[in-house]
Structure 1
């Protein structure tokens, strides 16, 4: 019984570590706290039983109850340790998965995740007959920033740009690095007309923003603009690659038209700009 008490005390440590790792407001946290309280209740019960029977004469048959108590303590200790180890392993797996799908520079999703999610969103849109739009943006004259201030400053500018985009888009939208300084945004259940409005708002927000890298030897703030191509899913667009190709052609048209503008791909008419 005394050994069982120490085993129950040992079981409290992994469970308390698990409770501390759970965020405030997590639905499972109160349940683990209840389990922690039950273990303390069992410890008190084990101690009371031990004191009550400390000097009593016992036979071999009387050892059944203490043996069961001891087995219960071992079980609780194993469950506590397994629960904590499982939670730790799942946390590591989640971090690893996040690293595999996140662009380390900008802090948005990477191209691999973009390709996967876009295929899934196209299937879902076709299945339910819902709208789907994609935005492809590129920083205008980004090479000039790298040549003038250096690539480290260019990286800082991209990080700040990524944060501006994340602040502007909706929770249901998905932002990913397409390549270089090109960024793609998937707009689920969004028609092209709505995507154009969102893209124009983003373009204006970036044009108004001041980018202030801390390492440049100048008091000047860096201003930049972006060009955006928008394409929407339709019956003729049956693949993710085709949808990306249309958005890319619309982006190219935006750059050819003078940059710092939004251009949409329209079926049968080619790219056309809402600003023209």
Structure 2
């Protein structure tokens, strides 16, 4: 009887070790190449060695389990297999939950239409950047970008075309500006750019370069939208502001950029205007 129990425990341990390989395989597929992924490959090899060792134990000690104390080793084999399986399952679930959290966090700070950051993230990040700039005496500029006559685009060609233009505009801005700049949808057709460590003059030059690129660009309209055009060109007005004596917090900085944008639009659009030149 003890013989069957011992062999049963070892056989069950082998089955559990085989089951433990599945979550490891899934976890390896989730991980990028690197040391962590290699470590799980090593663990896979160890599990296979355990399976081979357990399999060799049964014929090697066949019929040698005559006392209760002889069940200690098979019981340890079984408990170790349970532990390995449980750890692997928990590791896989932890990795999946962390992945879900990353996706959720990304979705919570991303504008669903344009794929750039949303206003919630913009305000939080701008507050942090202003505090950092004030602490270390570094320049910080913002660009407030507005698509000219965007309402006309929606009225004439429909909101689907307007969404395509807005999405294309956001991606054009991201690819045009520097990797250190933070691009976010401020509201409606307005997009704001945070330019850390950037004086207002350089920010204005950056805005002018962006304005020219947009002016020469065109946004394709899919034929299935049944519009009269296949591509649409737009222009932008940009207000630029920098922190300084008159703009030390987020509200002042945004208000300065908004006033500059209003001037750009009232002066004919398709231009860059800098606000609060005393803050240079």
Query: 1:67: Cα distance to partner?
Result: 1.6
Contact 2:243/2:253 (8 A) holds in 1? yes
- Match for residue 253 of structure 2? 243
Contact 2:243/2:279 (8 A) holds in 1? no
Query: 1:27: Cα distance to partner?
Result: 4.2
Tell me the number of residue pairs that the alignment of Structure 1 and Structure 2 aligns. 269
1:228 & 1:216 partners in 2: Cα distance?
32
Q: What SS is found at the alignment partner of 2:90? A: helix
What residue ranges of structure 1 are gaps of 5+ in the alignment? 271-276
Matched, 1:198 2:237: no
1:173 & 1:269 partners in 2: Cα distance?
20
- Match for residue 160 of structure 1? 168
- Decide whether aligned partners of structure 1 residues 97 and 8 sit closer, same or farther in structure 2, where only a CA change above 3 A counts: same
- Give the TM-score normalised by the residue count of structure 1: 0.92
* 1:31-61 deviation per Cα after TM superposition (whole angstroms, max 9, x unaligned): 2222122111211122122231123244222
Contact 2:143/2:207 (8 A) holds in 1? yes
- Match for residue 22 of structure 2? 13
- Match for residue 6 of structure 2? none
Superposed, which structure 2 residues align to 1:1-276 within 5 Å? 1-23=10-32, 25-214=33-222, 215-268=225-278
- Decide whether aligned partners of structure 1 residues 53 and 78 sit closer, same or farther in structure 2, where only a CA change above 3 A counts: same
1:269 & 1:193 partners in 2: Cα distance?
11
Q: What SS is found at the alignment partner of 1:224? A: coil
Contact 1:175/1:184 (8 A) holds in 2? yes
2:202 & 2:52 partners in 1: Cα distance?
64
Q: What SS is found at the alignment partner of 1:28? A: helix
- Give the TM-score normalised by the residue count of structure 2: 0.91
What residue ranges of structure 2 are gaps of 5+ in the alignment? 1-9
- Decide whether aligned partners of structure 1 residues 131 and 51 sit closer, same or farther in structure 2, where only a CA change above 3 A counts: farther
* 1:147-169 deviation per Cα after TM superposition (whole angstroms, max 9, x unaligned): 11011110111111111111112
* 1:186-224 deviation per Cα after TM superposition (whole angstroms, max 9, x unaligned): 111222122122211111111111111112422452110
- Decide whether aligned partners of structure 1 residues 26 and 128 sit closer, same or farther in structure 2, where only a CA change above 3 A counts: farther
Query: 1:231: Cα distance to partner?
Result: 0.8
1:195 & 1:60 partners in 2: Cα distance?
81
Query: 1:131: Cα distance to partner?
Result: 1.8
2:162 & 2:178 partners in 1: Cα distance?
26
1:177 & 1:251 partners in 2: Cα distance?
15
Contact 2:145/2:192 (8 A) holds in 1? yes
